[in-house]
Amino acid sequence: MRMPPKPLAASLLLTLVVSACSADPCIKSAATNEVPTHWTTALPIAECTVNYHARQKTQLSSGAYDEASNTTFVAYPSGIADGLSACSPHIRAYDHATQTWGDEHIIAASPVEPDSHNYPQLLIADDGHLHVFHTMHGDHDVIYARSTAPRDASSWQTRPLEGTSKATYGAAFQSASGDMFLMYRNRDNRGSEDDYEPEYLLESSDGMATFTTRKVIDPNPSHPADAGGWGTIYTKAVNYVEGPVEGVQITFGVHKNHNIYLNAHYYAFLRLSDRHLLGPDGTDYGTELTPDEYADCLLFDHGGAQDFYNVRMAAGFDADGQPFVFHNQRVSGEQRLLVRRWDAGTGAWTSTDTGMRTVYPYEASVAADGSVVLYATQSRHQLLRYVFEGEAVTDTRVIAERPAGSDHKLEHLTFIQNARESELMGTFFRGPVSDWDSPSSWGTLFGFRL
């Protein structure tokens, strides 16, 4: 049976903890033709047009490793010729036998204006066909694409998914049985168009021949407890896990007037066996979370409404099967990295300040020895891997850092599903700072390995 997609396997994490970084000292950037010796573990993939202001929400599966072909496929947004949108889904394949990238292929032309919130999600089915879901930050159906042949990224059958025209921030994942899912935020346009954006779940058990959609988190801005426009869901982590119970960890904030203020964040678990949502204490809330219910799933609050800022989170389960969440939180003007752990004995979250500042967590899992491995960016200047034993950091390694003296930023850190050990682990984007309305004309997508 095919192993389901997972962020990072425990055996893989243990390998990362004890292994040394491999070096590729003479990799050139196609954009500048420089020899960036600081990219000691980076493999350049492609030039992309992506806006620096991107707030990556739930890029769960932008790449996947296929064992049958010994190939990793990576999907990403990029520009194409003839004036078409610069956030169209593209794909490339990495051949692990030859350690080379194949040709870039355009999956489809995006119908919306360039916007760095638009990105594709990739799944590989049991039969080897590639499935891509491209959600957009505009009023358009999700673009769905299926490779014409198994394990072949060169030819695609595409169609819009009817009824998904308000979908954005999609996160795709599969169950162990092969069912496909896309979790996304929808704009339901009840009241003002910016006031009601619940979280939805698309699912298919027949390889996307048919699919259904339904609401899973309902912020309901007319609810007395959330009056005044607290009606927009922003997921901050969507983390698929095989066990101890197969499902998806979801952390999310409920925002006022689309993205103006936030005052709290929440944690829930989507159990895939019955599609029910559970609180951190295991309370079963059925197939949809309401404001009264997610109030009991509070992860932390900010002590009052704060102006919107990009809270990043990374979730996992510890060796005892209890959830933990890394997140950055603004306190007295500082961006602090905190870790919260669920204490089943007291039925509450504990909180520890790691002492690190301006660190944005992206991925966290537990190694076989019980240590926790966290991947994060530091002020968007470096990509780092931290190893925690208890609350102490016992190892810190730089995966990549920006060129000295440049205004480049490191963004869009994603991880390869079913990654082969010590090979291609994930991807990140490097590019110059640009204006929201005028995305930079280029940036380089890199893959990293350890």
pLDDT by position in tens, the chain (length 450): 333 333 333 222 222 222 223 323 222 333 333 333 333 467 888 877 766 655 545 567 889 999 999 999 999 888 765 555 678 899 999 999 998 999 999 999 888 877 767 889 999 999 999 999 999 887 889 999 999 999 999 999 999 999 999 999 999 999 999 999 999 999 887 665 567 899 999 999 999 999 999 999 999 887 776 667 788 999 999 999 998 899 999 999 999 888 888 889 999 999 999 999 999 999 999 999 999 999 999 999 998 888 878 889 999 999 899 999 999 999 888 999 999 999 999 999 999 999 999 999 999 989 889 999 999 999 889 999 999 998 899 999 998 888 888 888 888 888 899 987 678 888 888 888 777 667 777 788 888 887
Last residue of a domain, one of 137, 170, 203: 170
Could you give the CA distance from residue 157 to residue 209 in angstroms, rounded to a whole number? Answer: 12
Could you give the CA distance from residue 64 to residue 130 in angstroms, rounded to a whole number? Answer: 10
Last residue of a domain, one of 170, 204, 224: 170
Instruction: Tell me the residue type at 158.
Output: T
Query: Is the same domain home to 224 and 274?
Result: yes
Could you give the CA distance from residue 333 to residue 323 in angstroms, rounded to a whole number? Answer: 28
Amino acid 194: pLDDT:
61
Query: Is the same domain home to 290 and 367?
Result: no
Query: Is the same domain home to 33 and 106?
Result: no
Which residue(s) pair with 337 in the sheet?
328
Phi, psi of 251 (to 5 degrees): -115, 140
Q: Which two tokens stand for residue 281?
A: 């204490």
Sheet architecture: strand order including 143-147: 119-124, 130-135, 143-147, 156-160
The verdict on residue 293 lying in a domain is: yes
The verdict on residue 315 lying in a domain is: no
The verdict on residue 330 lying in a domain is: no
Structural domain range at position 232: 187-309
pLDDT, one tens digit per residue, over 362-407 is 999 898 899 999 999 998 899 999 999 988 999 999 988 888 888 8
Query: Is the same domain home to 298 and 239?
Result: yes
Tokens 């969507």 found at: 238
Query: Is the same domain home to 163 and 192?
Result: no
Could you give the CA distance from residue 255 to residue 264 in angstroms, rounded to a whole number? Answer: 9
Could you give the CA distance from residue 432 to residue 30 in angstroms, rounded to a whole number? Answer: 15
Could you give the CA distance from residue 158 to residue 166 in angstroms, rounded to a whole number? Answer: 19
The verdict on residue 324 lying in a domain is: no
Which residue(s) pair with 363 in the sheet?
375
Query: Is the same domain home to 301 and 199?
Result: yes
Could you give the CA distance from residue 385 to residue 372 in angstroms, rounded to a whole number? Answer: 10
Q: What's the domain count of the chain?
A: 3
- Whether 321 contacts 330, CB under 8 Å: no
Query: Is the same domain home to 135 and 149?
Result: yes
